[in-house]
Amino acid sequence: MRIMAIDYGDARIGIAVSDLTGTICGDAWTMEEWNMERASLRIAEEARARDVGTLVLGLPKNMDGSEGPRAEKSRAFKALLEKDTSLPVILWDERRSSIEAHAILHANGKKEKKHRKTVDAVAASLMLEGYLGRY
């Protein structure tokens, strides 16, 4: 079964899905959705269509490990995803994933203005890679 990583944001959501064996990132994209409930339903559809068995949702933490308002939103989104997908949702510390994603895009010659369209997908891929390599 596949694993789906989700980098949740207010306007854009990065999504990355593993290959069937759950070994590497197989696909990544960005979804534009401002409504949390609609976003959850769209992710549930994608998860069903791609035979996803586990969701990994980014939990934004401050550098000192504390949680702020963004973490609260992620926890609320986790509850929606669990209801809409009936899948386990694992919260994953996403500290520095966006910073690393910007650095990767910059190193590959992408202009700052163009980062907005892909940075969330790259961040989701980094979270997925971290989760897949946890053992």
pLDDT in single tens digits along all 135 residues of the chain = 899 999 998 889 999 999 998 888 889 999 999 999 999 999 999 999 999 999 999 998 877 877 778 889 999 999 999 999 999 999 998 766 666 655 665 666 666 655 566 778 888 998 999 899 886
The token pair that represents 119 in the structure block: 């940075």
pLDDT the model gives residue 66: 79
The contacts of residue 72 (CB under 8 Å, 6+ apart) are: none
pTM for this one?
A: 0.85
- DSSP letter at 22 equals S
Domain boundaries defined on the chain: 2-132
Determine the topology of domain 2-132 in CATH: Nucleotidyltransferase; domain 5 (3.30.420)
Cα(63)–Cα(128) distance, integer angstroms: 20
Show contacts of 34-37: CB within 8 Å, 24+ apart: 34/10, 36/73, 36/76, 36/77, 36/80, 37/80
